[in-house]
Amino acid sequence: MCAKSFRKDQRPWSSVVVDGIERAPSRSMLRAVGFTDADFKKPQIGIASTWSMVTPCNMHIDQLAKESEQGVAVAGGKAVVFNTISISDGISMGTEGMKYSLVSREIIADSIETVVACEGFDGVVAFGGCDKNMPGCLIALARLNRPAVFVYGGSIKPGCYCGKDVDIVSVFEAVGQHAKGEISLRQLSEIERSAIPGEGSCGGMYTANTMASAIEAMGMSLPNSSARLAASKDKREESHAAGRAVMQLVERGIKPSDILTRQAFLNAIAVVMALGGSTNAVLHLLAMANAAKVRLSLNDFTAVGKKVPVLADLKPSGKYVMADLTAIGGVAPLMARLLKEGLIDGDCMTVTGKTLKQNLAHVKPYPRKQDIIRPFSRPVKKEGHLVVLKGNLAPEGAVAKISGKEGLRFEGKAIVFNSEEQALKKILDGTVKKGHVVVIRYEGPQGGPGMREMLAPTSAIMGRGLGQDVALITDGRFSGGSHGFVIGHITPEAYVGGPLAIVKNGDSIAIDCKKRSVELQLSKVEIKRRFTQWKAPRQSNKTGALAKYAKLVGPASGGAVTG
């Protein structure tokens, strides 16, 4: 162990809690949880673990947290491990429980902030393993603004069915294939049993891997954190290194506000675009920027997307998973390419205490014979896939994920549903047909409440073979596993009187990704007339977490933040 001495200004928060005769009661309680006399003179580092057995994404994080605890000790600090909650999108998807998913981001952020601020920790190592706890961790770290490192729990290894890689999205799509009669119940069961072989986050460039890559691009995790598999020696070593790294940040006084600059967020957007990442990145990066007091808007995604092509051929719309990207070097070589092309800013500070450019200086390029990350001369898509649309259906914006395989324009007749469950039932029974624009409303941040992900209906559409023939629009959001012609985050949402509220079956809707528009093809007079007849539905949640959330939450166009 390292016997360093630390100045009081290197332990500004813990010294208030434990120094002096009057703090004897505090020290007495801390002795019971393992503190020694020497520990009271060390910086205290909170290890925020999102471990639970709720989901495979987080089932191993307790062991990673212990590695980080040891890393802090080696560097001369005193670590204190604590837990926060985690929920599973994949398990709750398509049920009322999914309404708690985005809500959990705020609960996680609030709980980490609460523990760290209350206990007087001088620094933080935060572990996240799936969609909401990662941005939740970053929101808390930005609010606290104490030396901090984020560690991604890591991606899962792919499952195998009939010699092919499968994952959780394969199971969702198999449900649609079974409904269509393409696979038997036995085949569906075999896919179900094969898809999730162990610990780690969903394997494609879904929301977890997208956010891990974005956080690495911002400099808040160690290099290549996003591309180390959950079940690997590398991930354990990284966790230990994060404990040592946070102590260096404490000694040098480097805080999240030094790292989470506007340019760092633009770097994150560029990496998300190049990887073909999840639409949820828009929602979460806006929320994280709000917590960091950084100016960021939907317009920034448009501006970056016009410059940065999609280079990665990753699931859900591509062929490969994160384990494949890990095998060829991870995200760091991609960032080195983007830096060389002038598409990211290398002068941004990172948790290594070095700039992004310095971190990338000795990164080896990808092997020549690989087609996971394309060259700039042969991109998957010439512009970014996250397209912000506006129009009379989304005056404040909507977000589409257009890989290029769906086409750039869709016009069809609305088939309207007031909940995800209603829509899924009619997709599976064949009511939804070629040429329909599926409208799912009252699923926004307030109206849901909770802004559920629509992975079940989008997967059912793909499973029934309608991916090229049906569009789906919603004031809800999408899983990173969703693909097809889908538009979410429609703002204002229907519940607060957004135009989606007055759409009727048979209305013509035109979506044009070149013009970046989503239009209900009705006259202004007719739209106004319909609004005179519309009444907001009653909110079913009167008490509890969902009711609190509905009262506090802002629009999706601002990140759906609660404060």
- Strand 386-391 to strand 164-166: parallel, antiparallel, or no bridges (unpaired)? unpaired
Amino acid at 469: D
pTM attached to this predicted model: 0.96
pLDDT at 168: 87
Binding site per annotation, positions for Mg(2+): 89, 131-132, 453
pLDDT at 114: 98
Residue 68 among the catalytic residues: no
pLDDT at 406: 66
Selecting among 221, 479, 482, 557, the annotated active-site residue is 479
pLDDT at 327: 96
Which residue ranges does the chain devote to CATH 3.50.30.80?
A: 386-549
Burial of 334 (0-12, 13-18, 19+ CB in 10 A): buried
Homologous superfamily of 9-17+36-154+228-252 in CATH? Response regulator (3.40.50.2300)
Which residue ranges does the chain devote to CATH 3.40.50.2300?
A: 9-17+36-154+228-252
Binding site per annotation, positions for [2Fe-2S] cluster: 57
* Helical spans, DSSP H, in 145-206: 168-180, 185-194
Measured distance CA(37)–CA(542) in Å, rounded: 50
- 75-92 tens-digit pLDDT: 999 999 999 999 999 899
Binding site per annotation, positions: 57, 89, 131-132, 453
How far is residue 217 from each of residues 18, 114, 154, 220, measured CA to CA in Å?
A: 37, 27, 16, 8
How far is residue 139 from each of residues 62, 111, 446, 460, measured CA to CA in Å?
A: 21, 11, 20, 33
Q: 275 is written with which tokens?
A: 């990887």
Residues with Cβ within 8 Å of 105's Cβ and at least 6 positions away in sequence, in order, are: 132, 133, 135, 136, 139, 284, 287
Q: Which residues of the chain have pLDDT under 70?
A: 1-2, 404-406
pLDDT at 180: 87
Strand, coil or helix: what is 480?
coil
CATH number of 386-549: 3.50.30.80
Measured distance CA(550)–CA(163) in Å, rounded: 46
Residues in the chain: 563
Backbone torsions φ then ψ of 377, nearest 5 degrees: -75, -15
